[in-house]
Amino acid sequence: MAQKHIFIALTGASGSMYGLRLTEQLCLNDFQVTFTASCSGTAVCREETGLDLSGDLDKALQRLYAHLEINSGITLVHPDDLFCGAASGSSAPDAMVICPCSMGTLARVAGGVSGNLIERSADVMLKERRPLLLVPRETPLSDIHLENMLRRCPHSTAGRIQFWTWLILSSGKYWISSGSRTTSTSGGVRNNPEPANSDAKKTIFY
Ligand X SMILES: Cc1cc2nc3c(=O)[nH]c(=O)nc-3n(C[C@H](O)[C@H](O)[C@H](O)COP(=O)(O)O)c2cc1C
Residues in contact with ligand X by CB under 6 A are 11-14, 38, 40-41, 44, 47, 102-105, 137-138
User: For residues 104 and 137, what is the distance between their CA atoms, to the nearest angstrom?
Assistant: 11
Minimum separation from the CB atom of position 86 to ligand X (A) = 16
In terms of CB distance, is 94 or 138 closer to ligand X? 138
Query: Which of 136-143's residues contact partners 24+ apart within 8 Å by CB, and which partners?
Result: 136/13, 136/100, 136/101, 136/102, 136/103, 136/106, 136/161, 137/13, 137/14, 137/15, 137/100, 137/101, 137/102, 138/13, 138/102, 138/103
Q: Which residue is nearest to ligand X (CB)?
A: 12
Which residues share a beta bridge with 5? 32
Task: Please name which of 26, 11, 172, 16 lies closest in space to residue 94, comparing C-alpha atoms.
Answer: 26
In terms of CB distance, is 103 or 132 closer to ligand X? 103
Minimum separation from the CB atom of position 117 to ligand X (A) = 11
Minimum separation from the CB atom of position 109 to ligand X (A) = 10
In terms of CB distance, is 66 or 144 closer to ligand X? 144
* Degrees to nearest 5, angle at CA 149 with 159 and 21: 60
Minimum separation from the CB atom of position 144 to ligand X (A) = 11
Minimum separation from the CB atom of position 15 to ligand X (A) = 7
In terms of CB distance, is 13 or 189 closer to ligand X? 13
CA-to-CA dists, residue 134 to 50, 62, 205, angstroms: 24, 26, 16
In terms of CB distance, is 73 or 79 closer to ligand X? 79
